[in-house]
Amino acid sequence: MKLLRYGPKGQEKPGLLDSDGNVRDLSTVVADIAGDVLEPEGIARLQEIDLSSLPAVHGTPQADLRLGPCVGRVGKFICIGLNYADHAAESNLPVPSEPVIFNKWTSAIVGPDDDVEIPRGSTKTDWEVELGVVIGKGGKYIEEAEALSHVAGYCVINDVSEREYQIERGGTWDKGKGCDTFGPIGPWLVTPDEIADVGNLKMWLDVDGEKRQNGSTATMVFNVAHIISYVSRFMSLQPGDVISTGTPPGVGMGFKPPIYLKGGETMTLGIEGLGSQTQKVVKT
């Protein structure tokens, strides 16, 4: 099942994608793709619905029908850094012995095809295609063997990053990670039953049609189950929390010389089975 949210910014309605690629309206069934709707019981109820009974929404998703972030009312936007050994190498940083945790602010969240804004004064805005994990069943001190049962679904995330703010301005990474529009999420939330092996998904990102990232979740240092278990030692997880699990090599910082976004570029990115995103980069 592919759950989504559609409509103008701030007015998104819940929906899902049918087998013909059309959006079906869920607003008579649930208020939003958020909160307890994402718990196992909520997902199970949605999977029992006869899609033909739901109203069809006019328009083609990601063309003349805008999709918003595939999850609403996100409580926490948790990120894992340096989770691909080859990305750590291009960053001139050691492979971590434990997952590196940082945060994006929820105000960074936008739809999968919304514009990405370069912050004022930025000179080093960068891209990162990442697998997103959305929590369904909450908990803390989650055992790794049980961790995947806490997942509501998976999605594409672009972990847009300002490297000067992240690395050169003191303090934590967070100031370079959470700028407005730095967290496109979607196009849809894909339930785990549609993903045969989340640990072996192709992922890619292009800038103006040139391939920049071409990787796979198979090269993660820490897999999804380990990440969920590890994060839950330090904070309780609630339905709708989002975990972004790291990026493969090919980020702008890793080129010699580095390549950064200046404004006017188009980023396209995707993950096998999870859909794709397209963002225009604009100056503020």
pLDDT digits (tens, 9 = 90+) for 111-165: 999 999 999 999 999 999 999 999 999 999 999 999 999 999 999 999 999 999 9
Domain count, the chain: 1
Does residue 57 sit within a domain? no
Mean of the pLDDT values across residues 18-24? Answer: 96
Residue 33: φ, ψ to 5°: -90, 85
What range defines the domain where residue 269 resides? 73-283
- The verdict on residue 172 lying in a domain is yes
Residues 51 and 199: their CA atoms lie apart, in Å, by 30
Q: Does residue 104 lie within any of the structural domains?
A: yes
Nearest to 192 by CA among 110, 236, 112, 135: 135
In a domain, 131, yes or no: yes
Is the Cα dihedral 119, 73, 277, 13 positive or negative?
negative
Would you state the pLDDT for residue 239?
98
pLDDT tens digits, one per residue of 207-249: 999 999 999 999 999 999 999 999 999 999 999 999 999 999 9
Mean pLDDT of the 68-77 span: 98
Place of tokens 């595939």: 70
Q: What is the CATH number of the domain that holds 135?
A: 3.90.850.10
